[in-house]
Amino acid sequence: MNIKRIVPNSLTCCNLLCGSIAIFLASQGEFTWAFICIICGAFFDFFDGMSARLLNAPSPIGVELDSLADVITFGLAPSMMLFCFLLPILGWWALLALLMAAFSALRLAKFNVDERQHDSFIGLATPANALFWGGICSMPIAIVAYDWIAWLLLAISLVSCYLLNAEIPFFSFKAFKKNKMVVISFIIGCLILIALCTTKALITNHSHFILFSGTACIIWYVALNLILNISTAKNK
Q: How confident is the model at residue 18 (pLDDT cuts 50, 70, 90)?
A: very high
pLDDT of residue 122: 86
More confident residue, 163 or 178: 163
pLDDT of residue 178: 72
Please answer whether residues 193 and 216 qualify as being in contact, where contact means their C-beta atoms are separated by less than 8 angstroms: yes
pLDDT of residue 11: 87
pLDDT tens, 92-115? 999 999 999 999 999 988 887 777
How much is the mean pLDDT over the chain?
86
pLDDT tens, 177-196? 677 888 888 999 999 999 99
Q: What range does the domain containing 80 cover?
A: 3-172
Task: Specify if 161 maps to a domain.
Answer: yes
Task: Specify if 29 maps to a domain.
Answer: yes
Q: What is the mean pLDDT of residues 138-157?
A: 81
Task: Specify if 193 maps to a domain.
Answer: no
CATH code for the domain of 46? 1.20.120.1760
**Spatial CB neighbours of 152, under 8 Å, sequence gap ≥ 6:** none
Task: Specify if 144 maps to a domain.
Answer: yes
Task: Specify if 183 maps to a domain.
Answer: no
pLDDT of residue 3: 67
pLDDT of residue 123: 87
Q: Looking at the predicted structure, is the pLDDT value of residue 1 above 70? A: no
Task: Specify if 154 maps to a domain.
Answer: yes
Nearest to 22 by CA among 6, 5, 45, 49: 45
Task: Specify if 179 maps to a domain.
Answer: no
Task: Specify if 226 maps to a domain.
Answer: no
Number of domains in the chain: 1
Q: What is the mean pLDDT of residues 190-211?
A: 87
Distance CA 71, CA 37 (A): 14
